[in-house]
A and B are shown apart, each in its own frame.
Chain A
Amino acid sequence: MRFLNSSMFFLSTALPIVVIFYMLKIRRKDTPISSIYLWQDLLQDIQANTPWQRLKPNILMLLQLLALISLIIALALPTISGQAGDAKNITLIIDNSQSMGTTIGGLSRLDMAKSKARAIIDRAPDGARISLITFADRSRIILVNSQDLNLVKREIGNLKPEGSSTNIDSAINIGTSIASRSKDSQVYLISDGCFEKVKTALKSPVKFVRVGESDDNVAIRTATLLENLNPPHLPLLFVSVENFSSKAKSILVSIYHNNKLIDSKQLKLKKRSMDSVVFKDGLLGLEAIEVRLSCSNLLKIDDSAWVLKSERALKNISLVSNGNLFLEEGLRAVSSAKISMVGPKDWMKDKNADIFVFDGFAPRSLPNRNFLVVNPPVVKSKPSVFEASGFERAPSIESLDPNHLVLQSVDLEEIKIARVKMTHIPSWMKALASGKSTTAIAAGEDDGRRAVLLSFDLRESDLPLRIAYPILLANIIDYISPAPVGKNLSRLNLGESIVIRPLAGASSITIDYPDGSRKMLKKEEQVFQDTRAPGIYRISQQVGSKVVSEPFAVSLISQRESDIAPADHPELAFRQTSKSRPSTSSVDVDIWRWFALAALVLLMIEGWVYVKGY
């Protein structure tokens, strides 16, 4: 027997409370009688003037304890092994996110999921119709109501881990929608459970077949190139590593250039903890750096990450400010671009600026370049875009989007901000860090123009004194820097797409993959999605006799995918839910109803015994 919601066992602390109730004397109502003469022999167990009484064997207490135990077991959602149903319409939802690439004994979780799926297909009755849906960072409908079981098995066999996140809701939505169209249907969700809680309403029952057991993984969580604040502004490589396993780990962090070892550092991490190392030596002049972890763990794809030296077309930053030392120095630390100070009245005249940074000032008309707004001004009248109407004092950050590029590896937990402004944020921006009634950090893109908002004065927070500050500024600059080829980023997560825009006069566009292969692309604006392999990609455009090329790095940096501890999902169990161990082909049938029924029956017996007075 297994329990899907074993946390409910904390309710067993109520068992002693039941016993204590039987030891406590009851507050009784005075009932006059003519004489207690005839009652005396019958009431010998009562002791006067003590709040406690001796605990005696009591059938009512025993029944109540049994009922409570049954109820706790029912709430813990017990399951036992059983055979899967023989529905005619079967929808298979298979998780092919990166966490499914976790391999133990040469067999990955995806391989286990495939064998589970094949077993379900083999048990299906004649004439069964199979729908196949996969999900990673997005859902894919592979087949709908196919009766060609061999085709279904082939498609299942072709599945590979992909993406850098796991989006379960749309897959469940699609799968249960397909199943709800016919009565004799069954949805199987085959996954390691490494996804957020399912929020979508289930339109038909889902049987959750879980694969995977271990949480043994370490992963690179950040790899960022910064410049030393002090001259001669030598490069620094900041790497943070997280141990997701429940055991302490000793990890060797190494950096390579063209497969040649540059430096190594040892990290010792306690279970489920994170730490960082900084590399300083041998980085000058390196274009691409690979970071590798050497440590035994089950998911390898997140043990490497690639970092590129910023070769963006960011040459001029126009800082529209009346003077802000923190901001100025911070920008100098993360970018080698020239920073020109411009007054609020003159910023529109600055035609050389690649990006604008507005500090304590909101532009009436938005610039046609990417920009950062810091500390928006407070106005008394109705605020326009990037103007504030008031403050929220000392807010605590209640919601965060740590996966957004701007906040990657930025630890905002300990940050203290005296006042966050209630800024009028345009609808195309997304709140990344919010308090109760204000948004501290927001970012977004509108018609090819990217913008970031820091809705507080840096001088009214301890952010500039923390390690998170240069990382945040580096992320922001990375996010809003223009790129020579379309709007590419220097680093992407696995499965993320980029827009490629042809340069004027480009006669050909090619892309080089990390494995050395090359592919010719169309000479038109296009979305490039084929970023399934980690490594360095390079987009090259032939303009006349000149080749303009831009590299970008693809790595898996995702807490969701690296945290491979399999999880149960009770929210799926409230429908007819089943699970399976990887070593068996059966599904587990939930039996919580039986325990709930037992609790009810025991309570009824207890009531009957009470009335009968035994």
Chain B
Amino acid sequence: MSLIDSKLLSSLDGLKIITHRPLPGRFKGDLRSLKKGSAIEFADFRDYVPGDDLRTIDWNIYARLERPYIKLFEEEEDTTIRILIDCSRSMRWGEPDKLNYARKLGGCLSYIALRNLNWVSVYGFSDGVNARFALHRGLAYIPPLLNFLEGLEPTGKTNLLGACRQIVSERSAAGLVFIISDLFGDNIDKALSLLGERKREVCVIHILSPQELEPDVLGDIRLVDSETGEKREASITPKLLNKYKKNLRTWKESLESACHKRGMNYIDIETSIPLDELLLKTFRKRGLLT
């Protein structure tokens, strides 16, 4: 497992991925779901409707209020986790490399999911979906998944909408979706709208390198886009750099707002943050892992 060192993987052994809305699963699993059902942990009440199991009526409430209420419980079941890793050319950038960081992060999340007997599928996308690791469940699929991640190479430019269209068209596209991308592309908003349907929970992990956050360019230069090869002449001054940073801040705020509007999680990360710190501290703090 050259992509991720075993020490990091072993530190992830006790972690579980949390979802924040009820997601349909295939079998009973170890993923903690917010789907209200018949498990042991009480969650809420709702009105009785004809056809409900009479055993679920809370008779104590009925005696007190003279109305039938159904008692709801949290249900633990397996669910499907899809991890979309941006493999556009812009991801092969920065120190540390964004694509490498995304592959490791994707590997860690997959490892956690597979260990907890969830279904995991990983997609490498740029102009569309370039590579796919089909849905699998169980620890046995950890080595082939990591091999798959190692094989992801940068190509093309970011087209998240195209990739999302392919994913939602799949027969069972419900579940938790992680998007790991620098989001340098158009139609991000549309892509999020497409993914953010009821049966999916989406977490956008916005990944940027330190060089993108604090560019070290100055003077009269010609900027060359690593994705498209497009060239733009510029006289970079400290004042222009300040404007760039302001632009960057506004852009990230707009992405975060777009995610929150659709009930999605948005996490912006910098590739200089160590992975173990990101997973064990940041993700846990943000309620993605427990």
B residues apposed to A, CB below 8 Å: 90-91, 93-94, 98, 182, 184-185, 209, 211-212, 215, 217, 220-227, 230-235, 237-244, 247-248, 251
State in angstroms the CA–CA spacing of A43 and B222 once bound together: 11
State in angstroms the CA–CA spacing of A597 and B267 once bound together: 56
Contact A25 B233 (CB under 8 A): yes
Question: Chain A 37-50, CB within 8 Å of chain B: the 1/0 string?
Answer: 11111110010000
Question: Which residues of A sit under 8 angstroms from B182, Cβ to Cβ?
Answer: 34-35
Min CB–CB distance B281 → chain A (angstroms): 26
Residue of A nearest to B91 (CB): A34
Question: Which residues of A sit under 8 angstroms from B98, Cβ to Cβ?
Answer: 34
The answer to whether A29 and B225 touch (CB under 8 A), given A34-B209, A43-B233, is no
Q: Which of A346-354, A544-552, A605-613 contacts B (4 or more CB under 8 A)?
A: A605-613
Min CB–CB distance A30 → chain B (angstroms): 5
The answer to whether A28 and B220 touch (CB under 8 A), given A35-B182, A41-B247, is yes
State in angstroms the CA–CA spacing of A37 and B223 once bound together: 11
State in angstroms the CA–CA spacing of A378 and B142 once bound together: 106
Min CB–CB distance A186 → chain B (angstroms): 51
State in angstroms the CA–CA spacing of A284 and B209 once bound together: 108
Contact A34 B184 (CB under 8 A): yes
Min CB–CB distance A374 → chain B (angstroms): 69
A32, CB-defined interface residue at 8 Å = yes
A584, CB-defined interface residue at 8 Å = no
State in angstroms the CA–CA spacing of A487 and B244 once bound together: 93
Closest 4 pairs (CB-CB, A-B) = A613-B237, A613-B239, A613-B238, A34-B93
Contact A34 B220 (CB under 8 A): no
Residue of B nearest to A29 (CB): B221
Residue of B nearest to A47 (CB): B233
A25-B233, A35-B184 are known contacts; what are 4 more A-B pairs with Cβ within 8 Å? A29-B221, A31-B217, A36-B223, A613-B242
Residue of B nearest to A612 (CB): B238
Question: Which residues of B sit under 8 angstroms from A32, Cβ to Cβ?
Answer: 223-224, 226
The answer to whether A31 and B223 touch (CB under 8 A), given A25-B233, A46-B232, is yes
The answer to whether A28 and B233 touch (CB under 8 A), given A38-B248, A42-B247, is yes
Min CB–CB distance A563 → chain B (angstroms): 53
Question: Which residues of A sit under 8 angstroms from B230, Cβ to Cβ?
Answer: 36
Residue of B nearest to A31 (CB): B221
Question: Which residues of A sit under 8 angstroms from B226, Cβ to Cβ?
Answer: 32-35
Contact B225 A35 (CB under 8 A): yes
Residue of A nearest to B243 (CB): A42
Chain B facing A: main interface SS: mixed
State in angstroms the CA–CA spacing of A31 and B248 once bound together: 19
Q: List 27 A-B contacts (CB under 8 A).
A: A26-B235, A28-B222, A29-B221, A31-B217, A33-B225, A34-B94, A34-B98, A34-B212, A34-B227, A35-B90, A35-B184, A35-B226, A35-B227, A38-B244, A39-B232, A40-B232, A42-B234, A42-B240, A42-B244, A43-B223, A43-B233, A43-B234, A46-B232, A46-B234, A610-B237, A612-B237, A614-B237
Question: Chain A 288-301, CB within 8 Å of chain B: the 1/0 string?
Answer: 00000000000000
Q: Which of B184, B224, B237, B248 contacts A30 (CB 8 A)?
A: B224
Question: Which residues of A sit under 8 angstroms from B212, Cβ to Cβ?
Answer: 34
Contact B224 A31 (CB under 8 A): yes
Contact A613 B241 (CB under 8 A): yes
Question: Which residues of B sit under 8 angstroms from A30, Cβ to Cβ?
Answer: 221-222, 224, 231
Question: Which residues of A sit under 8 angstroms from B237, Cβ to Cβ?
Answer: 610, 612-614
Min CB–CB distance A167 → chain B (angstroms): 57
The answer to whether A38 and B227 touch (CB under 8 A), given A28-B233, A30-B222, A31-B217, is no
Min CB–CB distance B156 → chain A (angstroms): 13
Residue of A nearest to B208 (CB): A34
Contact B239 A34 (CB under 8 A): no
State in angstroms the CA–CA spacing of A36 and B209 once bound together: 15
Residue of A nearest to B229 (CB): A32
With a 10 A CB-CB cut-off, give which of B185, B222, B240, B241 has the most chain A CB atoms: B222
Residue of A nearest to B238 (CB): A613
State in angstroms the CA–CA spacing of A39 and B246 once bound together: 11
Question: Which residues of B sit under 8 angstroms from A39, Cβ to Cβ?
Answer: 223, 232, 234, 244
Contact A38 B247 (CB under 8 A): yes
With a 10 A CB-CB cut-off, give which of A35, A37, A42, A614 has the most chain B CB atoms: A35
Contact B220 A26 (CB under 8 A): yes
Question: Which residues of A sit under 8 angstroms from B93, Cβ to Cβ?
Answer: 33-34
Contact A611 B90 (CB under 8 A): no
Contact A37 B233 (CB under 8 A): no
Question: Which residues of A sit under 8 angstroms from B232, Cβ to Cβ?
Answer: 36, 39-40, 43, 46
Question: Which residues of A sit under 8 angstroms from B239, Cβ to Cβ?
Answer: 612-614
Min CB–CB distance A614 → chain B (angstroms): 6
State in angstroms the CA–CA spacing of A472 and B286 once bound together: 109
Question: Which residues of B sit under 8 angstroms from A37, Cβ to Cβ?
Answer: 184-185
With a 10 A CB-CB cut-off, give which of B221, B226, B227, B234 has the most chain A CB atoms: B234
State in angstroms the CA–CA spacing of A550 and B195 once bound together: 126
Min CB–CB distance A33 → chain B (angstroms): 5
State in angstroms the CA–CA spacing of A39 and B228 once bound together: 14
Question: Which residues of B sit under 8 angstroms from A29, Cβ to Cβ?
Answer: 220-222
Question: Which residues of B sit under 8 angstroms from A613, Cβ to Cβ?
Answer: 237-242
Residue of B nearest to A37 (CB): B184
Min CB–CB distance B245 → chain A (angstroms): 9
Contact B238 A33 (CB under 8 A): no
Contact B222 A38 (CB under 8 A): no
State in angstroms the CA–CA spacing of A39 and B222 once bound together: 12
Residue of B nearest to A35 (CB): B184
Residue of B nearest to A44 (CB): B232
Question: Which residues of B sit under 8 angstroms from A610, Cβ to Cβ?
Answer: 237
Residue of A nearest to B222 (CB): A28
Contact B90 A34 (CB under 8 A): yes
Contact B244 A33 (CB under 8 A): no
Question: Chain A 469-507, CB within 8 Å of chain B: the 1/0 string?
Answer: 000000000000000000000000000000000000000
Contact A611 B238 (CB under 8 A): yes
Question: Which residues of A sit under 8 angstroms from B215, Cβ to Cβ?
Answer: 33
Min CB–CB distance A62 → chain B (angstroms): 16
With a 10 A CB-CB cut-off, give which of A26, A33, A41, A613 has the most chain B CB atoms: A33
Min CB–CB distance B61 → chain A (angstroms): 56
Min CB–CB distance B206 → chain A (angstroms): 13
Min CB–CB distance B243 → chain A (angstroms): 6
Question: Which residues of A sit under 8 angstroms from B240, Cβ to Cβ?
Answer: 42, 613
Question: Which residues of B sit under 8 angstroms from A611, Cβ to Cβ?
Answer: 238
State in angstroms the CA–CA spacing of A179 and B262 once bound together: 93
Question: Which residues of A sit under 8 angstroms from B243, Cβ to Cβ?
Answer: 42
Min CB–CB distance B100 → chain A (angstroms): 14
Min CB–CB distance A486 → chain B (angstroms): 80
State in angstroms the CA–CA spacing of A29 and B221 once bound together: 5
Min CB–CB distance A612 → chain B (angstroms): 6
State in angstroms the CA–CA spacing of A207 and B209 once bound together: 68
Residue of B nearest to A27 (CB): B220
